[in-house]
Each structure stands twice: as structure tokens, then as C-alpha cells.
Structure 1
């Protein structure tokens, strides 16, 4: 497929700027990662809302782009070699956009940045998400305390690891990078959306609270947390 019209997703979410990256997302922690990267790099893009309220993620058009029915996903009309590229998984998208733009994944500590990106993908995201389910959503009705405590304890451990890594640093891998773009939205989600920071030991942390404040103070972050607009 070489034209946007060849991709079924464009029949439901029509491109507004045909040469721009097409972002299909929702401002959840994983969705914010990619809208933030696009805002920070200045790459042109169209943002399309994938509404969970109407089960857009299960539509045939969205599944044609991401068979795993998760946001975010992108369609880049100007991918490698000038050919269209589709991509899902937020971490993979961050790495692709870093390579495309030449920003936020420096060569001198590339693997340090990637290791902290993987730390978020494999640890912070899944564990914070599970804690949020058992603390703030339907899981809180489960009487057995063991599931919630398992994820609470692991979230606390991960926060302590991050706190240690931030000692003497403003950002987790030195300069601001895609690792921070991945971690920051999940810290915000834990504290402000799941309301679970206090039970995960937030008050005992030395460096993480200030790190989140620095992250949220960035103008691109302030824009990205509302992209795509839910209305």
C-alpha cells in the first residue's frame, strides 16, 4: 500500500493533512507519550480520537492498523524510503519518532535511554495500571487483599528504583529524552488519576515528586495531556 486511501483506517478517520503523521490515540498515559513526542519534535501530525466509550478500538478500521486493539498507533505517509509506515506499541513509536526527527535519543547514551524506556514499558506501565484497577476501579470491590497488595508493593519498589536513578539528575538518563516522555505520564496517572501515590510510598520519595513537577511544567506536556481532545 502506497497511498493513504489504501489503508482502511483512513476511511473512518480521514486525514486532514495528507502528508502528516496520522495519530490514532486517546490521552491516557500511553497515548500522551506519543502526542508529547510529536509536540516536542514539531513533526507535523493529525490527531484522531479513538474513543473507548464507543469501542472505537475494536472497530475493523482500527484493528486493520493495530490488531492488538490498543492505543496509540500511527500511520506515517513518509516512512522509511518514502513509503507509508504503520506502527503500534508506544515504546516502538517513540523510538521511531526519535530516529525520524533526530531528537531525544542521543547516540552517546542511546542504550541508557532505551533501558529506562524499557523499565517503563515492562514495569511502571503494567504495575501502575494493575494497581489503579485494584485501587480505583472495579478491582477495589474484590475482598481478597492479596492482588492489590502485590501491585501496591511492586509499584512502591519501582518508584524507589526511579528515585535512586534521579539522584543528582533532573532527568532519568541525563538530558530530557523519550524515557522521560514514557515515565512522566504514568507518574501523573498514578498520582492524579488512580489516586494511588500515597499508598505506594510517594511521601517517602526524595527525587520523584520534583521530577514529575519538572515534567508537567513543560509547555509540550501541558498541550499533550489533552491531545486528542476527548470532545
Structure 2
């Protein structure tokens, strides 16, 4: 059984995408980041960076004590290795998936996250910051679009954890100032993943989570998330 410590953010969606695809039994443990639950001592024991998602695998492959994993990319890799799914076994295929997974966690996520912050949540509009992160978002969309030319998925013909990592960050493309029509290969990939049954189920889970707030107006949530 996988215990998933979750909130409906792009990084949270990555893990529900995987779990809904593979059919591994799991239970949701909501972590309301707007209420500061990510700072509670019990959660910090499994996620010392006070960020979600995190998981606890109560039945690890070695038969030992439960294993906790934090950081979304590490979780995806752990689950792929546990289930032997969505990560190629051959040397070159595996290397390709891992490098694009790291591309997402090291670039696409952080840069688009800054885009979201300065465009939607910053208390004052800073034109330089907005322009800088919108431009970087466009560059990264272009990198992904070029990669997807002639490919169904990021690593080739098969759906992998590299796709699961990137897709949730593209979902709010309009809020990032992007148009998918400007990136035809990315758009085709995006629609292919959007229409998967497991993707629909994963995003339906987000609708069941209570306590979501609007970070543009909720001062308590802003204080917890942005240190205000």
C-alpha cells in the first residue's frame, strides 16, 4: 500500500497520474499547504523540505520496514522501479527517461513556478520578473516542442515517467501566457495524455479534496507559502 501525502498542485498530480496508470493500491493523505500542514512535525519526518508530495510505501520490495520518499521526481523513479513500469530497462532508454525527468524537476517546474508566482500571486507586479519568466517558459515549451517532433511521447513511442512529470506543468498554460497552437508537437502530446482514462481519474481526485483556497486572496495561505 502506498500512502500519498498530496495536495492538488502540479507536483501532486504527477504522482496520482502514475498511481492511476499502474493500479497500485494507494490512499490519499491530504496535506493542506494553505493551512501550513506541510510544517507539522509528523510530515517533516517523511518530507524534511516541507514540501509535498511524499509517499510511504508500507510494503517495500525488500520486505522490510516502510520506506518514505520525498521529492516528486524521486517518487516517480521509486514507483517506476517498484512496479517495473513506465521506465525502460535498457540502458539507453532508461538514460533518456531519467535525463528528461531531471530536465523537468530542474528546469520546467521551477521556471514555470516562478511564472505563476510573478504573474498571479506576487503582491506587486514587477515587469522585469514577469517578462523574464514568461520568456523562459516560452523557451522551455520550445525545447519540449522540438523534442516531441516525430515522437508520441518524450522518450519515444512509450508513455513514461518523463511525460507524467512534465504534463501537469503544461496544464495551466493559459495562466503562463502560452498558446498551445504555437507549439504543435507539444499540443498533440498534451492532448494525447489529457485523453487517457488514468489522467481523467487523476484530475478527478483533485476535485474531491476539500479546503482548497485562492492564493490571490487568502492571506493565511500566502503567509504559509510565501513567507509573508
State the TM bucket, normalised to the shorter chain.
0.7 to 0.9
2:143 maps to 1:155: no
1:69-84 matched pairs, under 5 angstroms: 69-83=50-64, 84=66
2:151 maps to 1:169: yes
Unaligned runs of 5+ in 1: 1-19
Question: Segments of 4+ in structure 1 off by > 6 A?
Answer: none
1:10-49 matched pairs, under 5 angstroms: 20-49=1-30
2:96 maps to 1:90: no
Aligned residue among 38, 44, 55 for 2:36? 55
TM-score by length of 2: 0.85
CA distance in 2, matches of 1:72, 1:156: 26
CA contact (8 A) 1:128 1:190 kept: no
1:70 positional shift: 0.5
Task: State the match for 1:6 in structure 2.
Answer: none
1:138-149 matched pairs, under 5 angstroms: 138=122, 141-142=124-125, 144-149=126-131
CA RMSD of aligned residues (A): 1.4
2:108 maps to 1:124: yes
The C-alpha deviation readout for 1:151-188, integer Å capped at 9, x for no partner, is 11111111101000000111111110000000101100
CA contact (8 A) 2:20 2:202 kept: yes
CA distance in 2, matches of 1:88, 1:42: 21
Equivalent residue of 2:187, what SS? Answer: helix
1:226 positional shift: 3.5
Aligned residue among 156, 159, 163 for 1:180? 163
Unaligned runs of 5+ in 2: 211-228
CA distance in 2, matches of 1:227, 1:55: 21
CA distance in 2, matches of 1:122, 1:132: 16
2:193 maps to 1:215: yes
1:222 positional shift: 0.9
CA contact (8 A) 1:120 1:182 kept: yes
CA distance in 2, matches of 1:225, 1:119: 23
CA distance in 2, matches of 1:54, 1:230: 14
CA distance in 1, matches of 2:81, 2:152: 23
CA contact (8 A) 1:24 1:73 kept: yes
Aligned residues: 205
1:31 positional shift: 0.4
1:97 positional shift: 0.4
